[in-house]
Structure 1
Amino acid sequence: MVSDSGIHLHARGEWHEPSLTLRTIRFQKGLYAQFHHLYVLQAGTATLALEGEEPRSLQAPTIAYMPPQSRCELHMAAGAACFIIGASPQIIVDAIGDRAESYALRIFSERPWFMAEPDAGAVNELQPLVAGFVRELGDPSRASWMAIAAYMRLILMALWRAAGTEAAEQRGRGGGASVLQRYRQLVEIGFRQHRSITDYARELGVTTDRLHSICRSELGRSPVQLLHERVVQEAKLRLERSARTVQEISDGLGFRDPTYFSHFFKKKTGFSPAIYRDLARKSEASTVTLSSGYADWP
């Protein structure tokens, strides 16, 4: 794990008081080039200019979330007040964790999200979490990696719910949901337990042949291939974006020992975990990307 003494290389937290003049803030700049950013406008107006898109006018109280690929700058009008927080991919990995909601949060965290209209309720719910994040970073006697990751987890959950994603997913679990969709939800919850395809089919109320046919016809892969792809994708993300050891990653993914995990990973990717991590680090400053993002699993 990265030591807490390096937390300011992985997180930023700022409160901007109202000013008499227009201010411009560039999010992905220098140290913050690969950060995920959250902007909470509490008073006044601002304009958010995303690269390749028309500028967005923002009216307080409102929220904007930008992943690293959303190159943008913010023009705050006189009198505007806001919080700005940012987190590195390593913080995001720890914040999202490996629980039932984790895959949905990963997908959410890869896409920009803007509140459709001012929403005081959502901003008021988020404000103490963001203020706590900023306060934690601003206190030299604290500034804990664990605390920052915990705040970021709660913030992402609040954003996900404010976006209505949780409610939409709950509706999708009803009788009209496809077997494939429900299989993927079950895999997300249970892929670390290395359950058999027979177990998944039984829980879905279909035969293994039927599940195999659905996965093949919809995605061109067998249920086992989809399950293994999910494990490999999680392993890649952990190797690329966290400082956990290979053994810690192996344990977290439910493998009985690191050697078995290494053999599995090399069979699926052509690289040992250690070599893959080394290649990922060497490619950070180049245009080569070994894993394109959280949404690689189909």
Structure 2
Amino acid sequence: MATDGGIHHYARGEWHAPSLSHRRIRFQKGIYADFHHFLLLGEGSGELHFDNGEHRPLHGPLLAFLPPQARCDLSISAGTAAHLVGASPQIMVDAIGDKVESYSLRIFTEQRKLVEALDPLTVTEIRPLISGFVRELGDPTRSSWMVASAYIRLILMALWRGSDGERSEQRGQGEVGSILQRYRQLVEAGFRQHRPISDYAAELGVTADRLHSTCQRALGRSPIQLLHERVVQEAKLRLERSARNIQEISDSLGFRDPTYFSHFFKRKTGLSPAGYREVARASAGSENSMLSSGYADWP
């Protein structure tokens, strides 16, 4: 975990006042290469220029969310104001947290989003949060990791809800989909407790055999495999994106001792936690299928 004194290496908050000429900003540059970015464009216009050749005109007021893989530049037209907020992977891990909604937020943050004036309520809700984040980073006497993380969490939740993420997950699900969705939520809230699958089945109101057959039929994996995958995913995430040592990561994931955690992790991945961390650091900025890049394993 970085200290608050180093917050500007992990968070970015900029206010671009209206100018007499157009400006161009590179999102993924230098220390910002792996940042997630939020752009709040005021009245006026701009354009996103993606590395793949795509161009997307923007007309404010507008909110854009751009994950690291979006890789683009922003042109802001003369007379247009903009707030730009960026969060490192470490800040994003803290902001997303480990609550019931966290799994959904992780999936949500893998795709870029544009919220235009057609949805003014979402833009209106998020605007003061973006402004507050920029003010927080603009005052070096009080810039706080905890506050920055809290702002990002609120911005993400408002954007997720405003994009209908909460309701869209609930629509179109039959009984099997409902059981899987509820199991996923229970796992998200309790995977550090290492509870038996029978406890999850009891909370869902089904037998352990029914839960097993549902998961196996829909996903080709048993409930315990899915649970273990979630633990491994979180372990990978923390090994990649936090400065915690193996003991601290083991403790935070509910293991009784770091040796047991290391054996579990190596059995599941083929690498020790320390070995995985070395691979992750060596692969920074490159494509590596071993790393914790995706969360969309479940419906």
TM-score bucket (shorter structure): over 0.9
Over residues 115-170 of structure 1, what are the superposed CA-to-partner deviations in whole Å (9 max), with x where a residue is unaligned? Answer: 15443322221122111111111111112212211111111111111111122235
CA contact (8 A) 2:115 2:123 kept: no
- Aligned partners of 1:276 and 1:296: how far apart in 2? 22
Residue 174 of structure 1: how far off its partner (Å): 8.4
Query: Cα deviations across residues 87-117 of structure 1 (Å, max 9, x unaligned)?
Result: 1111111111111111111111111111154
CA contact (8 A) 1:62 1:123 kept: yes
Aligned counterpart, 2:259: 259
Distance in 1 (alpha carbons) for counterparts of 2:191 and 2:62:
37
1:57 match: 57
Alpha-carbon distance in structure 1 between the residues aligned to 2:273 and 2:15: 40
Paired amino acid for 1:273: P
Is residue 2:2 matched to residue 1:8? no
Return the TM-score normalized by structure 1.
0.92
Check conservation: 2:46, 2:59, Cα contact below 8 A: yes
Letter in 1 for 2:225: Q
Q: In 2, distance between residues paired with 1:285 and 1:41?
A: 28
In the other structure, the counterpart of 2:137 is 137
Q: Residue 109 of structure 2 aligns with which residue?
A: 109
The structure-2 alpha-carbon separation of the partners of 1:153 and 1:170, relative to structure 1 and needing over 3 Å to count, comes to same
Q: Which runs of 5+ in 2 are unaligned?
A: none
- Contact 1:283–1:289 (8 Å) recurs in 2: no
Q: Which moved more, 1:84-93 or 1:272-281?
A: 272-281
- Residue in structure 1 matched with residue 202 of structure 2 by the alignment: 202
RMSD, matched Cα: 2.0
- The CA distance in 2 between the partners of 1:176 and 1:236, in whole Å, is 29
Deviations 1:178-203 (A, max 9, x none): 32232222222221221211122222
Cα distance between partner residues in 2 of 1:166 and 1:129: 20
Matches within 5 A, 1:1-298: 1-52=1-52, 54-171=54-171, 177-288=177-288, 290-295=290-295, 297-298=297-298
Tell me, in whole angstroms, the C-alpha distance in 2 between the residues paired with 1:140 and 1:201. 50
SS of the equivalent of 2:255 reads coil
Cα pair distance change 1:231/1:50, threshold 3 Å: same
Q: Is the 8 A contact 1:48 1:74 kept in 2?
A: yes
Number of aligned residue pairs: 298
- Partner letter of residue 78 of structure 2? A
Please, which runs of 5 or more residues in structure 1 have no aligned partner? none
Percentage identity across paired residues of the two chains: 62
How far has the Cα of 1:85 moved from its partner? 0.7
- 2: CA distance, partners of 1:59 / 1:258: 52
**Could you say what secondary structure the match of 1:256 adopts?**
coil
Q: Deviations over 1:207-241 (max 9, x none)?
A: 22222222222221111111101110011001101
In 2, Cα distance between equivalents of 1:288 and 1:169? 29
Output the CA distance in 1 between the equivalents of 2:286 and 2:109: 22
Change (3 A) 1:53 1:161: farther
Give the Cα separation in 2 of the matches to 1:98 and 1:168: 21
Amino acid at match of 1:156: L
**Scaled by the length of structure 2, what TM-score is found?**
0.92
Query: Shift in Å at residue 287 of structure 1?
Result: 4.0
Contact 1:62 1:118 in 2 (8 A): no
